Every structure is written in structure tokens, then in C-alpha cells.
Structure 1
Amino acid sequence: MSIVTLLPFIVLIGAMFLMTRSAKKKQQAAAEMRNQMQPGTGVRTIGGMYATVKEVGDETVLLEVAPGVHAVYAKNAIGAVLADEEYNRIVHGDEPEADATVVPDDASSLTESAEDAEHDAVEVSGEAKTDLTKKADEAEADAEVKKDAKADGEADGK
């Protein structure tokens, strides 16, 4: 057999090795995350339910899914252990602190400082800039309509 014939098999075995190694690392990270659960911790199950941990056993965890409502889940059913701030924001609708980082609605605030935005809004003469793009677009559209109307009129006249 030649090396060219064996090359695909070697590549396939190497890819399988890397995939299983990656999967094992993910499983170990998930197991470590589940072992860090303590009573009072907020969690999300793999089904998407948010709950508070009440007791942690070897293979199971007791969750409070609503005030006074408890359910026993397998540890493997826990999808994520959440930070207190994140859990309270999701479950209770708590707003972030005033000094917390606020994500802007548009990208312009990520590239411009407030001073740059104010400077761009006012020219040196003190007059506000006029946005001509909409007027230019409207004028261009009107010219197209007139051109089409003229072409239609010439076509009708011939």
C-alpha cells in the first residue's frame, strides 16, 4: 500500500482523537461547574428553567422553582450556574447598578466620544449642520419620475 492510500485514514483517526479530547474537556468543565453549586445559588436547567439550589446531593440537586415549590433534579440536568447579579436580572427583573457598564443601542457611541459627537453636530459658525442626503435622494427620485413621465409622453405621442 502506498502512503497516499493511508493518508485519509490517518487524518480521520487524528480528527477523531481531537474531537473526543475536546468533548472530554467540555464534560469535565461541566462537571466542575456542577460541583461548585451551593445552596442559594441560581441555576438554569438544560430545559431552560431558572431555580435556586436548596440542597446538593451526590447525584441529585433539590431546586426551589417557585417560592415554596421544590423539585429534585439530576445534577446532569443543570445547564448553567449563574452569578447572583445575572440570576436576579433574569428572574426578578432587577436593573443593573448605575455605575455598571451600559451597552449602547448603536455603534456610533463605541467609536466616538461625547465631545466628538457634540463637535460634529455644531459647525464652527455655531449653526447646526443640515442633512442633505434625504433631500438629495428625494430630488433624485423626483427627477426619475419626471424622466419616466416624459418618456411615457413621448412614447404616447409617436
Structure 2
Amino acid sequence: MSLVTLLPFIVLIGAMFLMTRSAKKKQQQAADMRNQMQPGSGVRTIGGMYATVKEVSEDTVLLDAGPGVELLFAKNAIGAVLTDDEYNRIVHGIEHDLKSDADVVPDDASSLTESDETADAAPDDDASADKSVDLGKKDTAGEPSDAAVAKSDEEPKKTDGDSEAK
């Protein structure tokens, strides 16, 4: 047999090896994450429930899902261990502001515009009110363009129901 006929099989076996290797790597990362859980950590189960870890044993996790609600889950049912900031943002709606020294942006733009007092205090310049912005087009009012003249010559004018044939 030649190498050319074996090449597709070699490529297929190599691709299968790479896929199983990446899957094993992801499984190992998930197992490491679950083993690093500690009481007090916020978690999300694979079903989408958010809770706080109360106790961790070898195969199970006791979760506190609210006042008086304790649930026993298998460790494999934990989908993600969340950071404290992320857990508080999702569960309690508490936003942790990393830029507490930054300016606060208002909800509306009214405070960003001039107030009436500053507008009244501004000097009234008739010249500044009459200034227009030049957008690069020349004003040819009164002079029809060449295209408009050519079009009007080609098309007959239409009337609104005034026909001479009766």
C-alpha cells in the first residue's frame, strides 16, 4: 500500500486524538474548579440555579438557596463557581463599581446642556445667529440645472383630468 491511501486514515485518527484530548482537558478543568469550591462561594448549577455553598464533601455539595432552603447536589451538578462580585451582581443586583472616582453619568442629558441662566447670560450676537454652515454645495436658486431642463423638454406635462377630448 502506498502512503497516499493511508493519508486520509492518518488524518482522521489525528483529528479524533485532538478532539478527545481537548474534551479531556475541559473535563479536568471542570473537576479542578469543583474541587476548589469552599463554603461561602457563590455557584451556578448546570440547571441554572444560583446558590451559596454551605458544605463540601467528597461527592456532594450542600447549597444554601435562600432562607431555610438547603439543597444537596452532586458535585458534577455545579456548572460554575462565581466570583463574589459576579454572584452579588446576578443574585442581589449589586453592581461593584471599579471606577468609584470616575464622574457619574446622569440618566438624562438635561444636565449636560446649557441651563436657561447661562443662555440668558450669553451675549446676543446677530452675526453669530445669521452664520450658516457651508456644506460645500453652491446655492443655485433660480437657475435650473441642465438635467432638469433636459427632462422637462422630453416629458409632456400632465394635467389633472383636464382633457380636451369629450
Q: Where do residues 83-98 of structure 1 align in structure 2 (5 Å cutoff)?
A: 83-97=83-97
2:72 matched residue in structure 1: 72
2:144 matched residue in structure 1: none
Number of residue-to-residue matches in the alignment: 115
Alpha-carbon separation, structure 1, partners of 2:59 and 2:77: 10
Alpha-carbon separation, structure 2, partners of 1:90 and 1:155: 68
2:44 matched residue in structure 1: 44
Q: 1:3 to 1:98 in 2, by over 3 A?
A: closer
The offset of 1:95, in angstroms, is 1.7
Where in structure 1 are there 5+ consecutive unaligned residues?
103-125, 133-146
Q: Where do residues 1-158 of structure 1 align in structure 2 (5 Å cutoff)?
A: 1-97=1-97, 99=99, 154=158
Looking at CA atoms only, which structure, 1 or 2, has the larger radius of gyration?
2
Alpha-carbon separation, structure 2, partners of 1:11 and 1:38: 44
Q: TM-score, normalised by structure 1?
A: 0.63
Identity percentage over the alignment? 73
Where in structure 2 are there 5+ consecutive unaligned residues?
103-127, 136-150, 162-166
Q: CA RMSD in A?
A: 3.2
Q: 1:87 to 1:156 in 2, by over 3 A?
A: same
The offset of 1:2, in angstroms, is 2.1
Q: Which consecutive segments of 4 or more residues in structure 1 shift more than 4 A?
A: 153-157
Q: 1:70 to 1:5 in 2, by over 3 A?
A: same
Q: 1:69-120: per-residue Cα shift (whole Å, max 9, x none)?
A: 00100000000000001000100000222626x9xxxxxxxxxxxxxxxxxx
Higher helix share: 1
SS at match of 2:9: helix
The offset of 1:156, in angstroms, is 8.6
